[in-house]
Amino acid sequence: MPRVDHRAIAVELFNHTWTLLDLADRTPGQDLEMVHAVLGHGVASLRHARAYVDFCSDEANESNVGAFDRAFAQEGLARASLAAGDATQAVACIEAGRVLAGSIEDEANRAWLMKNLEELAS
């Protein structure tokens, strides 16, 4: 069985979602491609976001998961929590993301995370 590079797939999907978010006029098909949280499907988005946080927290995945992944997993969970109407959990995830941001070596990636977290916090 061929080995699946889950990290590469996650990065590709993450980047593709942001490309779609930046489009002024998305088609219904493009909307369907995006993450549930972006569309406001709270319960489904929480399920996916928690699965991503769990994946990033699992020691078995430690060699494939970096600070960027862990921090953006918290950003995703914050976004999903807001979509589900749980502001308390969203605030906790935003704070966790801010703490994890300090471990992101790439300054542009860290700034991008902080921008997203600040947008969620406002």
DSSP string, the chain: -PPP-HHHHHHHHHHHHHHHHT-SS--HHHHHHS-HHHHT-HHHHHHHHHHHHHHHH-GGGGGG--HHHHHHHHHHHHHHHHHTT-HHHHHHHHHHHHHHHTT---HHHHHHHHHHHHHHH-
pLDDT by residue, tens only, the chain of 122 residues: 556 566 666 666 667 777 777 888 877 767 666 655 555 567 777 888 888 888 888 888 778 888 999 999 999 899 888 878 889 999 999 999 999 999 999 999 999 999 989 988 98
pLDDT score of 8: 65
What are the structure tokens assigned to 24, written together?
């002024």
DSSP string, 60-74: GGGGG--HHHHHHHH
pLDDT score of 13: 64
Residue whose structure tokens are 């430690």: 62
pLDDT score of 10: 63
pLDDT score of 74: 94
Angle at 76 between CA 75 and CA 80, to 5 degrees: 120
Q: What is the pTM of this model?
A: 0.69
